[in-house]
Copies of this chain bind each other. A is one copy, B any other.
Amino acid sequence: MAKCAFIGLGVMGYPMAGHLQKAGHDVTVYNRTSAKAEKWVSEFGGSSAPTPAEAAKGAEFVFSCVGNDDDLRSVMLGDGGMFAGMDKGSVLIDNTTASADVARELYAAAKDMGISFIDAPVSGGQAGAENGVLTVMCGGDQDAFDRAAPVIDAFAKSCKLMGESGSGQLTKMVNQICIAGLVQGLSEGVNFGVKAGLDMEKVLDVISKGAAGSWQMENRGSTMVENKFDFGFAVDWMRKDLGICLEESKRNGARLPVTALVDQFYAQVQERGGNRWDTSSLIDLLARG
């Protein structure tokens, strides 16, 4: 069992850190809003620290799961940042969905200090985090991955090394791009069926096994028919992620016409107050003029 630190106890980080502790690791947590760190310790044991640096001190594996690129830099760099506390030879596993650029930048900075940095964004949502069955997409060095993978397993159902530094983030981008167009298509299909007066439960049942089938159809089709979105993966996060994808696409030259368009549709969902709605809420733009 290893000495670990976990920085960022949000919707995802809180249960992920919990799984590490429950798996027998010795976890020290840090959270900007300290009340959450205290709650975590009272629920799972382990301990908490007043800064990322102090949490990271002496840990073999240090995890982070914060909001975006800027958040990352602010918990990693500077006096009280993770890097300041970490030992040579330790491994930093970043579970934030962020840019490949920031991953490579932090990988290089870590390397200079003798630390291994793995970008390791996850998919599977809040439920996946709570049930410890996330998919973890890693980028970085093989040896660091080999050491970290058994620890990551505490909250993962699948954990793969996708390639060199940044590849975890790039894989997550592919994931998000696929979802944007898919959910818009699904929204148009479901809304069309509703407007056509079809019994949509029956329709979804019949078509979900075939060429139109998808995870989203099976897991969101019914709630879309009912215009229910108060759960799932928030539109605000989706827009942040699509922003990262669109930015990266300027560098690698991949065109994203429908993704760019759907990103603008998501902006309309936000305007309608849907910041925290599930990504399937695109259908709201079709259901209500």
Interface residues of A, Cβ cutoff 8 Å to B:
100, 123-125, 135, 137, 158, 160, 162-163, 167, 170-171, 173-199, 202-203, 206-207, 209-217, 219, 233, 243, 245-246, 248-250, 252-265, 267-268, 271-272, 286, 289
Question: Is the CB–CB distance between B255 and A188 below 8 Å?
Answer: yes
CB distance from A28 to the nearest CB of B (A): 30
Q: Report yes or no: B193 in contact with A174, Cβ–Cβ below 8 A.
A: yes
B160 to A174, Cβ gap below 8 A? no
B255 A212 Cβ-Cβ under 8 A = no
| Residues of the B chain whose Cβ atoms lie less than 8 Å from the Cβ of A253 | 195, 267, 271
Contact B272 A192 (CB under 8 A): no
B213 touching A193, Cβ below 8 Å? no
Query: Taking A162-B202, A178-B185, A215-B210 as contacts, is the C-beta distance between A191 and B254 under 8 angstroms?
Result: yes
On chain B, the residues within 8 Å of A192 by CB distance are 173-174, 177, 245, 248-249, 252, 254, 256
A264-B255, A289-B271 given; A174·B203 CB < 8 A: yes
B193 touching A171, Cβ below 8 Å? yes
Report whether B174 and A207 are in contact in the complex, using a CB–CB cutoff of 8 Å.
yes
Known: A185-B180, A260-B260. A198 touches B160 (CB 8 A): no
Task: Report A275 CB to chain B, min CB distance, Å.
Answer: 12
Which one of B160, B173, B203, B249 contacts A206 once the chains associate, using CB atoms below 8 Å? B160
Q: Once bound together, how far apart are the Cα atoms of A206 and B262, in whole Å?
A: 24
Q: A216 touches which one: B184, B198, B211 (CB < 8 A)?
A: B211
